[in-house]
Amino acid sequence: MMLEPLLIVELGVLGLFTGFLAGLLGIGGGMLLVPFLTYILGARQVAPDLAVKMAIATAMATIMLTSISSVRAHHRRGAVRWDIVQRLAPGIVLGGLAASLGIFALLKGSYLAMFFGLFVGFSAIQMFRDKKPAPARQMPGTAGQLTAGSGIGFLSGLVGAGGGFVSVPFMTWCNVPIHNAVATSAALGFPIALANVFGYVLGGMQVAGLPAASLGYIWLPALATIATCSVLTAPLGAKAAHQLPVRELKRVFASLLLGLAAYMFWKGISAV
């Protein structure tokens, strides 16, 4: 499946935009990429069920590169809570492998799309509510963060997002300041992506109907184009994240989630 010039431009613009959002919101860009890639693959005669799975896997693969660029910018500002990263990462790897090597291959793409829409929509509503956490609430201990990390990695593997849609609300609920939560979520994007991409590649090697230039469920031409462009704008998003007020940052995050959730839920319903 060769990429025509117009498609290369479209994927490049998508990469620039999602890279900026990765730095700004700590979401890895995956939640924006999945709907667009689902549409693009479907328009190129990839079966709807397979298009959703390839979109999720390809979006997750871009996060490996985007997260590195984004987290460097956040780290220079001292915003990353590396102590939280160290405690959440082991569970994230375990949860991601369980999702991408097991459940992902068994579920139909339409069900994955509906799950994406419902869960991400719920996350958006919670962010809009802006409910204040109890003043005394703190991050749980090592065992609690291992469990939380497993959940974050598992959910990320099912929807192809970097985990920010779970980890940012979770950390703010535990009274981690929003800017630290966004920066720490960006750092968590790499272990999330690494574990899940490994599973997507192995799980998709024997799948029929994959387009040319695919590695398991991952569409390599789109990955190369989007990742190359996204690493350019991720630092700009990270810079903007430290200049926006907390309430505005939360509302931008929630608005993005709601729109993408509605689209993917509709895609899932229409494919059943």
Give residue 54's pLDDT: 92
Average pLDDT by stretches of 10, the chain with 272 residues: 75 86 67 83 85 89 78 84 92 89 79 80 74 69 89 83 75 85 85 88 87 89 89 80 70 76 79 66
Instruction: Give the whole-angstrom CA distance, residue 197 versus residue 200.
Output: 5
Give residue 132's pLDDT: 60
- Residues whose CB is less than 8 angstroms from the CB of residue 257 and which lie 6 or more positions away in sequence, other chains included: 31, 120, 121, 123, 124, 127, 165
Give residue 21's pLDDT: 75
- Reported as half-sphere exposure (CB side, CA atoms, 13 A), residue 18 has a value of 33
Domain ranges of the chain: 5-271
Instruction: Give the whole-angstrom CA distance, residue 145 versus residue 151.
Output: 10
In this structure, the number of other CB atoms found within 10 A of the CB of residue 239 comes to: 16
- CA 160 to chain centroid, in Å, comes to 5
| Structure tokens that stand for 26 in this block | 């700590």
- Residues whose CB is less than 8 angstroms from the CB of residue 269 and which lie 6 or more positions away in sequence, other chains included: 110, 114
Instruction: Give the whole-angstrom CA distance, residue 133 versus residue 142.
Output: 20
Give residue 260's pLDDT: 74
Residue with tokens 């979006």: 59
Model's pTM, two decimal places?
0.78
Give residue 106's pLDDT: 79
Give residue 87's pLDDT: 92
The DSSP output letter for 244 is S
